[in-house]
Amino acid sequence: MDRRDFLQKSIILSCGIAGASAFLEACKKNNNTTTAPTVNFTIDISSSQYSALQQNGGYVYNSANNIIIARDHSGNFIALYDVCPHAGCTIQFDGKSTFPCPCHGSLFDENGNVTQGPATSGVKKYSTSLKGTQLNVFG
């Protein structure tokens, strides 16, 4: 191996190691990175922007507070902080009772508890109260 080949291979190897280290460190740092806010707001589920909540299995995001509001298969309203504590991705709703994270496969139940990692902590659950078509989310 001549000097030029040695330098090229050394640079490539160094970049690979640095990249892998940065990726692993980012995953470690992002675990539990954000704190869920305290909220108290009301939405009108008869409004067109919240029409998904008129049916069981529907969900919407309240992007101002990073909250996912879902209506489970039994018609109950569930509100969770929508930021996965593993890497900060936005969780979704499966239409029944599970909230998957599309980035790395973490799963959360209707109470925000982790049921499958890599997340090691849950997400905050908010209380809900429905009066007519007015849904209050608080906590």
- Residues 16, 76, single domain; the answer is no
User: Where are any strands of DSSP class E within the chain?
Assistant: 40-44, 59-62, 67-71, 77-81, 99-100, 107-108, 114-116, 125-131, 134-138
Least confident of 2-6, 29-33, 36-40: 29-33
Whether the CB-CB separation of 127 and 41 falls below 8 Å is answered with no
pLDDT at 17: 59
Helix, strand or coil, per DSSP, at residue 25: helix
- Tens digits of per-residue pLDDT, 88-100? 888 999 988 899 9
Provide the domain limits for residue 105: 40-138
Residue 46 lies in a domain: yes
CATH number reported for the structural domain that contains residue 84 in this entry: 2.102.10.10
- Residues 89, 114, single domain; the answer is yes
- Residues 69, 94, single domain; the answer is yes
Q: How many domains does the chain have?
A: 2
pLDDT at 6: 60
Mean pLDDT, rounded, for 113-135 = 93
- Residues 81, 127, single domain; the answer is yes
Burial (CB count <10 Å: 0-12, 13-18, 19+), residue 42:
exposed
- Residues 64, 99, single domain; the answer is yes
Strand partners, 7: none
- Residues 65, 106, single domain; the answer is yes
Token reading at 98: 């599970």
Residue 19 pLDDT class (50, 70, 90 cuts): very low
